[in-house]
Amino acid sequence: MAFYFNSDKQTQEKQIIVTSKSHDSVKSSTYSISVFSKFVKDFNSQKVRAIDRYIDPKLGMVMYYHDGPYPIISLKSSLENEIDWLEDAVFEEVKFSESPKYIGDFKFSDTGFFVDRNNGNFSLKDFDNSYSSHPDSFFKDNKKLETLCNYRATGITRDQRKTYNFYFRLENSKLTLLALAIDTVNDILFADPEADFISFKNNTDIQNYLENQKMFVDSEQNAYIDFNKREITYYDYPNDNPFIFEYYEIGKIEENSPKIKSVEVIFYANREEKESRFITYFSNKGRFVVYPMGVRPPYFYEPKR
């Protein structure tokens, strides 16, 4: 696995001066670039032992991620049981700068492993505790993880669908991993770089599209939305018992990312019973999405040409 930095010291110093913000950060980066580069290589190895060496078992490490729709906060002394969450390799070029902006459709404004100083603004309470429901004592007992943190980094996965946000303690040449937050990009269910954009300025654009494109198919799930027959097949509505809709309503257009927009489209069985409905989301990539729910996987209904 190759490093994307030049081993020549003069080249390194020149590169750091361009990307860093102050004399202090330049000085710090000069000796720390190899430390972070080594960490990225170990992280991409997906070997528990290689990553665990950065965790102080006495301190532990807080891990934050979503299991489906549920935000999870947990304290770990090892990633042995969590390695599956780290299966996506990140870009290895270490850059001492702020994280780039996500511009949408699985594209960031820049790629790499972005390292920046942490100036006391890391708090475990920034993580959503609504599901894990840890008591205040949990955050009090792990306060040291916050106070020790002097660096943070963002690793962008190579498919640009996810970020790993790392919180570190760097002292001399010893790097300690204090926390890790895993995030998917906001348009994860709608982005598709291979698909063309459709006109999506207002509900009239959407209505016009649906009047001309009558069939949408999820080939993997063997399901469809047929506007001619007014039928929808889905996990709960197999081919021999489809959901029959009388009409549909288009909601308010939302911006999922600078490139991707979506809107809620609800199909109703009839005008008298609003409870009998089928909820979907339609994007400016021209496809319908039904969010995953329980054992039901996400459905992606693509336009059939």
Q: Which of 35, 76, 73 is nearest to 58 (CA)?
A: 76
Question: Residue 301 CA to chain centroid, in angstroms?
Answer: 22
Residue 29: its pLDDT value, please? 58
Residue 79: helix, strand or coil by DSSP? coil
Residue 1: per-residue pLDDT: 32
pTM for the full model? 0.84
pLDDT of 244 above 90: yes
pLDDT of residue 172: 86
How far apart are the C-alpha atoms of 71 and 131, rounded to whole Å? 6
pLDDT of residue 28: 52
pLDDT at 82: 93
pLDDT (0 to 100) of residue 3: 26
Write down the pLDDT at residue 65.
Answer: 97
- Categorize the per-residue pLDDT at 6 as very low, low, confident or very high, splitting at 50, 70 and 90: very low
Q: What is the rounded average pLDDT of the residues 115-121?
A: 92
Q: What is the pLDDT of residue 30?
A: 60
Model pLDDT, residue 19: 40
Asked if pLDDT for residue 282 goes beyond 70, the answer is yes
CA distance 50 to 55: 10
Average pLDDT over residues 95-120: 95
Token pair recorded at residue 79: 């990633």
Three-state DSSP string of 196-249: CCCCCCCHHHHHHHHHHCCEEEECCCCEEEECCCCEECECCECCCCCEECCEEE
* Mean pLDDT to the nearest integer, 69-86: 95
Q: Which domains are assigned to the chain?
A: 9-184 (3.10.450.50), 203-303 (no CATH)
Residue 185 has pLDDT above 90, yes or no: yes
pLDDT grade for 160, boundaries at 50, 70 and 90: very high
Average pLDDT over residues 34-63: 96
* pLDDT band at 32; cut points 50, 70, 90: confident
For position 31, what pLDDT does the model report?
A: 64
Query: Rg for the chain (alpha carbons), in Å?
Result: 23
Q: Does the pLDDT at position 285 exceed 80?
A: yes
pLDDT at 250: 98
Residue 44: the pLDDT is 97
Q: What is the mean pLDDT of residues 109-130?
A: 95
Between 24 and 284, residue with greater pLDDT: 284
- Rounded CA gap, 131 and 134, in Å? 9
